[in-house]
Structure 1
Amino acid sequence: MGISGIGIWQILIVLMLAVLFFGSGKIRRLGEDLGGAISGFRRSLRQSEGESFEANSQENLSGRLIQTGERQ
């Protein structure tokens, strides 16, 4: 038994039907588009994290200087 009653043979049959129905080229393009969307999403997350880090750094620098041992 596989995932919640779905066996390996059922998954293989569905994949074979998808390839026959859509064709291998269309499935490959779909995979490339999905991979591009995921990498774009990750890239935007990294950029937004970098921007928020820079904004926090600028706020700390533009405010008063913190003395040694003093907490914010």
Structure 2
Amino acid sequence: MGALSIWHWLILLVVVALVFGTSKLKNVGKDLGGAIKGFKEGMKEAQDEFEDKPVAKESSIEKK
């Protein structure tokens, strides 16, 4: 028992498709893809903003 085989996943996929219908699943997939795309764009903007900030220069303390 334990892990599900490929046949279990295929049967589960067919049952879900029958219950929700393929158009509903298509909309869910489209919404999920849009959310992932938005998340990636947000992460890229944050990374660009982080890289654009100037690095604080070292203090002018003289080493003896």
- Percent of paired sites with the same residue: 33
Unaligned runs of 5+ in 1: 65-72
RMSD of Structure 2 on Structure 1 (CA): 2.2
If asked which structure has higher relative contact order (CA below 8 Å, sep 6+), I would say: 2
TM-score of the superposed pair, with normalisation by structure 1: 0.70
Give 4+ residue runs of structure 1 displaced > 3 Å after superposition: none
How many residues of Structure 1 are paired with residues of Structure 2 in the alignment? 59
Q: What residue in structure 1 maps to residue 62 of structure 2?
A: none
Unaligned runs of 5+ in 2: 59-64
- Greater mean deviation of Cα atoms: 5-14 or 42-51: 5-14
